């Protein structure tokens, strides 16, 4: 059958539709009598199931209208209601022509049995629609019914107004929560909004600190009691209702004030009024308490309690969000300060700071970093040591190893690199790297220190150490030489003395006379050499005298000829007009002997040309650069080449 169901409650329509469709019937629905009549005029309907209490046209009037119509009066009409349960209601409904009067809520199988029975009677033609006749008693009953209906509607409207009032308060609080970011203003205005709701005389909100003590209390509607209220609650003077609300989850409702409010400091304000205290709580965090003082003779229903809990929950959520926002602000400020400190350390660090990505490309570089390699920041960013040509080919494998370590999250260094500056000059740096995360991006912080001066200082130190060692060695040699020289002097004294005696004993024309003269010359030269050794051992100044060098050069070469191989040719290039210089003749002789001996050793048995040159030179402004430790002027230049 095609059945029309009429009810102003969506839940009831859904239940009936599901039940009837499950039994194979086609179902259409209407939310009131007006919609039902419109459907009946335009659609074929085999049965009507209707509630009684509905807006616009109720069920009784709908039944009457159907039974007045010659076409519609043949359709079976069933009342299904929980609004009326009196016997008169059922009699009145059947008197209007209804076929059945079913009281909610009936078990589905019994309900469907009744429907099946009506269908069978309809199919057999047993159902005979009644003719509507309204007698005086029926009219009186209808007036009584209308009066009861009006009273119920007024009661429902009052209840609805109470609910709407709380809903308006919820909406007001929600709008306040969206726009208000100051906690104290939020608490105060929430109290103001709540007392505007119908049935509320006053309200207060107490905010708890982290130590579970009240830090602030605000109220609305208490007048002069507000300061007293705040003073007592903050000081810890809590009446039983507050103590209970702090330890239990449910709303505390105060009904019997004489029993529950004994010595409360607000007892006089609560006379004849019901009150409720609700926990302002979110995610197990108790932010405070919300108290509502209702108007006299107002009883708080379960639905209103639920709505007030919702208000308290919304306030708690807003306070929670404020705490989160404050925490975020604090963290943002700490992050900003940290970033600012990092920027200062980065920019003013005495070492070069580079920020690279994991592929080695520069993200940033401080002032020192730019100075080390001679590139400006805009030239560095987006490039790398390799792209800029800063990294020599021999350093690339070592740099690649560092990148791999950084990619795997490991720090490196210190490692020494030789880099090429922008101008091509080399610079020695010591580099340490550390993988870090900046603004969720994994990067590498590289710290570079220019150690070129340190390396140079180390080289100088090594040279000085070598010189010191050489000096110490020479000092030891000098000490040894001094001891030898003293002994050698005694030997020379005998050689020179006996040579002089022998010379006196030999005739002037004797060839031995010349030989003895040469012995005396060699002895005197040896004496001067010993004198020089003794001077060296005593670190005394050598004796310099005005002298000509050319005779000493010729004498030295004459001696060398007998000691050098015949494969070595000695060439002399001695200018005749060489001037007089200040020098130690023994040192000049020694120097020339050493240089020529070294040259002879260099040429070996194969031989060659040993050339000794003595020339005049003038050092002027043009040539002074070749001799930075000398002053301009005339000089003698003695050179030995092989």
- Secondary structure (DSSP) of 95-133: HTT-SEEEESSPPHHHHHHHHHHHHHHHHHT---PPPP-
Flag whether pLDDT at 100 surpasses 70. Answer: yes
- Contact (CB, 8 A) for 352 and 450: yes
What is the percent of the chain with per-residue pLDDT over 70, rounded to a whole number? 85
**Rounded mean pLDDT of 29-33?**
91
Banded model confidence at residue 475, pLDDT cuts 50, 70, 90: confident
As a whole number, the mean pLDDT across the chain is 82
Which tokens is 525 given?
């030269």
Phi and psi dihedrals of 204, rounded to 5? -140, 155
Q: What is the pLDDT of residues 537-570, one digit of tens each?
A: 555 556 788 989 888 888 888 878 878 888 999 9
Handedness of CA 322, 326, 331, 336 (dihedral sign): positive
Token pair of 261 as six digits:
């409010």
User: What own/partner pairs with CB < 8 Å and gap ≥ 24 does 253-260 have?
Assistant: 253/300, 253/305
Q: pTM for this structure?
A: 0.43
Q: Which of the four pLDDT bands, split at 50, 70 and 90, describes residue 430?
A: very high
Pairing mode of beta strands 252-254, 441-450: unpaired
What is the per-residue pLDDT for 5? 95
- Given this model, what pLDDT does residue 285 score? 87
With 90 as the cut, is the pLDDT of residue 609 above it? yes
Query: Given a cut of 80, is residue 378 above it in pLDDT?
Result: yes
- Return d(Cα 369, Cα 429) in angstroms, integer: 11
Instruction: Look at the block and give the residue holding tokens 């220190």.
Output: 449
What is the phi/psi pair of residue 436, to 5°? Answer: -135, 165
How far apart, in whole angstroms, are the C-alpha atoms of residue 340 and residue 346?
10
Quickly count: other Cβ atoms within 10 Å of residue 305's Cβ: 16
Please work out, in degrees rounded to the nearest 5, the angle formed at the alpha carbon of residue 411 by the alpha carbons of 406 and 412: 95
pLDDT given for residue 487 in this prediction: 82
Reported as type and span, the H/E element at residue 288 is: strand 285-296
* Higher pLDDT pick, 335 / 33: 33
Q: Which residues contact 537 (CB under 8 A, 6 or more apart)?
A: 478, 479, 481, 482, 485
């Amino acid at each position: 059958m095609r059945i029309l169901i009429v009810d102003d409650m969506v839940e009831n329509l859904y239940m009936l539709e599901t039940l009837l469709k499950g039994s194979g019937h086609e179902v259409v629905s209407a939310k009131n009598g007006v919609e039902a009549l419109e459907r009946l005029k335009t659609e074929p309907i085999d049965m009507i199931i209707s509630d009684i209490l509905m807006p616009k046209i109720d069920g009784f009037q709908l039944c009457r209208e159907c039974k007045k119509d010659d076409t519609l009066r043949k359709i079976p009409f069933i009342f299904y209601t929980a609004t009326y349960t009196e016997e008169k209601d059922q009699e009145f409904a059947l008197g209007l022509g209804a076929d059945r009067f079913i009281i909610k809520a009936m078990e589905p199988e019994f309900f469907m049995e009744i429907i099946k029975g009506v269908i069978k009677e309809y199919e057999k033609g047993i159902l005979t629609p009644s003719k509507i006749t309204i007698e005086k008693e029926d009219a009186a009953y209808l007036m009584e019914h209308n009066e009861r209906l009006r009273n119920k509607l007024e009661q429902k409207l009052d209840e609805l107004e109470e609910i709407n009032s709380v809903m308006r308060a919820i909406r007001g609080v929600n709008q306040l929560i969206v726009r208000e970011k100051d906690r104290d203003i939020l608490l105060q205005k929430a109290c103001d909004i709540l007392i505007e709701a119908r049935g509320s005389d006053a309200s207060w909100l107490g905010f708890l600190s982290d130590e579970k003590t009240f830090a602030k209390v605000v109220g609305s509607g208490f007048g002069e009691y507000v300061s007293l209220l705040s003073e007592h609650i903050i000081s810890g003077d809590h009446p039983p209702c507050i103590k209970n609300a702090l330890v239990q989850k449910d709303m505390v409702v105060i009904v019997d004030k004489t029993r529950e409010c004994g010595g409360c400091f607000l007892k006089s304000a609560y006379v004849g009024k019901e009150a409720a205290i609700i926990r302002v709580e979110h995610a197990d965090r108790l932010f405070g308490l919300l108290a509502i003082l209702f108007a006299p003779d107002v009883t708080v229903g379960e639905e209103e309690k639920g709505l007030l809990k919702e208000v308290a929950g919304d306030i708690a959520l807003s306070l929670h969000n404020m705490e989160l926002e404050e925490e975020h602000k604090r963290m943002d400020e700490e992050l900003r300060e940290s970033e600012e400190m990092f920027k200062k350390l980065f920019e003013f660090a005495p070492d070069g700071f580079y920020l690279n990505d994991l592929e080695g490309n520069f993200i940033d570089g401080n002032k020192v970093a730019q100075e080390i390699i001679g590139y400006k920041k805009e030239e560095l960013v987006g490039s790398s040591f390799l792209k800029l040509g800063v990294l020599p080919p021999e350093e690339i494998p070592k740099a690649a190893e560092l990148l791999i370590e950084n990619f795997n999250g490991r720090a490196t260094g210190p490692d020494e690199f030789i880099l090429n500056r922008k101008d091509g000059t080399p610079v020695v740096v010591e580099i340490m790297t550390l993988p870090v995360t900046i603004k969720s991006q994994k990067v590498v912080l590289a710290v570079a220190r220019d150690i070129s001066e340190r390396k140079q200082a180390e080289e100088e130190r090594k040279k000085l150490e070598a010189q010191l060692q050489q000096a110490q060695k020479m000092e030891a040699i000098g000490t040894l030489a001094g001891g030898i020289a003293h002994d050698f002097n005694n030997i020379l004294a005998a050689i020179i003395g006996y040579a002089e005696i022998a010379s006196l004993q030999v005739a002037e024309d004797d060839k031995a006379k010349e030989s003895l003269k040469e012995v005396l010359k060699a002895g005197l030269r040896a004496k001067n050499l010993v004198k020089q050794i003794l001077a060296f051992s005593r670190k005394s100044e050598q004796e310099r005298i005005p002298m000509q060098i050319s005779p000493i050069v010729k004498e030295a070469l004459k001696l060398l000829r007998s000691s050098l191989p015949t494969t070595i040719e000695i060439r002399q290039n001695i200018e005749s007009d060489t001037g007089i210089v200040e020098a130690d003749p023994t040192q000049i002789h020694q120097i020339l002997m050493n240089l020529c001996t070294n040259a002879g050793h260099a040429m070996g048995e194969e031989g060659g040309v040993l050339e000794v040159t003595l020339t005049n030179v003038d050092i002027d402004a043009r040539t002074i650069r070749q001799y930075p430790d000398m002053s301009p002027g005339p000089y003698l230049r003695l050179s030995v080449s092989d």
